[in-house]
Structure 1
Amino acid sequence: MRRNPERRAALVDAAIEVLADEGARGLTFRAVDARAAVPNGTASNYFANRDDLLTQAGGRIYERLVPENAVFADLANGEHDVAHLTKLMRETVTRVATFRTGFLALLELRLEATRRPELRRVLGERVRADLDLNIENHLTSGMPGDSVTVELLYSALNWMIVDRLTLPDLHDEEHFDRLVAAVVERSLPR
């Protein structure tokens, strides 16, 4: 296996693009080589098999979805009220939806994970770690709500992102913003 980390990252990023554009069935080493504009056979020198490529693509998507440090600073230093939490959730939805190919590729990977135990394990661990980090950051920041609030926000906002990417005409921006605010308010314990 080749060890050039920049080339490996470029190949994994190309795999994400192929997944988003062609689905899991279209993900071949040849398609990844073409998308990365490298000679045929390059991807097969970097990944043991297709499962390895799928698994690494799943991990890479989450790496690219990590917010900028400014978002973490805003969480820690901003107001600790419903309005600020709503602002942060709008930022999250916008940031994730902006990485359109990553989120669509992740949906493809989730479907593939129903058939591939190793991919299911990797994605499950990654999502659990992401949720745990979000819960910890939320509770530490003093934002309103508890761990269940975070999990409810995660579930509801993820589906809203699916709607935004797959059915963009379903809601206009104003309605979408009102829905995010309603999800935040209704997820808080009474």
Structure 2
Amino acid sequence: MVRRNDARRGSLVDASIEVLAREGARGLTFRAVDAEAAVPTGTASNYFANRDDLLTQAAARVYERLQPDEATVERQRSAPRDRETYTVLMRELIGRISAFRTGYLALLELRLESTRRPALRAVLTEQVRADVEANVAYHEASGLPGDATAVRLLILTFNWLIVEQLTLPDVFSEAERDRLVEAAVDRIVTG
């Protein structure tokens, strides 16, 4: 049995995210991942059964890297349960996603590719559904204003705001984005 290095596997998955963001799903090859990770040609093919395996692991890694750290979660738990806190949380979320630009762009590429790959679609559907439900459950337990529908509407609203920011960053300034986040929380959460 071949013993594989988990750190190297992680760096290959991270490299695949960079390739996806830069080249798109069609440009994601084992050779491109090897080059991005600066490892010998053939390395990625030793770690992943096939391209679909690499795609699904890249999707999982994006979600893993987008999770807030424990200090952020703890600070959120101890904050007041009001509209202002909600607005701050949403701004931080958008900031965290925007800071991992290549991850979100890779995720968009994966979503497009999932329209052609049923196995990838199944993995992404499960991941996104679990993410939405985790956000709803966290919200309901948090005592913040709004209900499950408000959480889902904010997810949909902010996903497109993030797409605009990452693909056409000059459409909205940072100040406009902040005002839009506040307006969305006001209108969707507190009516």
Shorter-chain TM-score bucket reads over 0.9
Provide the residue aligned with 2:152 in structure 1.
Answer: 151
Question: 2:110 matched to 1:109?
Answer: yes
Partner of residue 94, structure 1: 95
Amino acid at match of 2:167: T
Is 1:68 aligned to residue 74 of structure 2?
no
Q: Is 2:23 the counterpart of 1:30?
A: no
**Which whole-Å deviations, capped at 9, do the CAs of 1:154-180 have from their partners, x for residues lacking one?**
111111010000110001111110000
- Residue 22 to residue 2, structure 1, CA distance change in 2 (3 Å): farther
**What secondary structure sits across from 1:122 in the alignment?**
helix
CA distance 1:29–1:2, shift in 2 (3 Å): farther
Aligned to 1:131: 132
Q: Which amino acid aligns with 1:23?
A: G
Q: CA deviation at 1:187?
A: 1.1
* Counterpart secondary structure, 1:171: coil
Deviations 1:69-127 (A, max 9, x none): 12222222101010110000000000001000000000000000011111111111111
Tell me, yes or no, if the aligned pair for 1:18 and 1:35 is still in contact at 8 Å. Answer: yes
Alpha-carbon shift at residue 189 of structure 1 (Å): 5.5
Query: Which whole-Å CA distance do the structure 1 matches of 2:41 and 2:158 have between them?
Result: 39
The 3-state SS of whatever aligns with 1:160 is: helix
Find the counterpart in structure 2 of residue 167 from structure 1: 168
Q: Which runs of 5+ in 1 are unaligned?
A: none
TM-score normalized by the length of structure 1: 0.97
Percent of paired sites with the same residue: 61
Deviates most, 63-72 or 104-113: 63-72
Q: Deviations over 1:112-156 (max 9, x none)?
A: 001111111111111111111111111111000011111111111
In 1, are the aligned partners of 2:21 and 2:103 still within 8 Å (CA)?
A: yes
Which residue does the alignment assign to 1:9?
10
Deviation per CA, 1:4-28, whole angstroms, max 9, x where unpaired? 1111111000000000000011000
Q: Aligned letter for 1:174? A: A
TM-score normalised over the length of structure 2: 0.96
Please tell me whether the aligned partners of residues 17 and 101 of structure 1 are also in contact (alpha carbons under 8 angstroms): yes
- Deviation beyond 4 Å, 4+ runs, structure 1: none
* Contact 2:83 2:190 (C-alpha < 8 Å) held by counterparts: no
Superposed CA RMSD: 1.1
Is residue 2–residue 45 contact of structure 1 (8 Å, CA) maintained in 2?
Answer: no
Measure, in 2, the Cα distance between the counterparts of 1:109 and 1:102: 10
Give 5+ residue unaligned stretches, structure 2. Answer: none
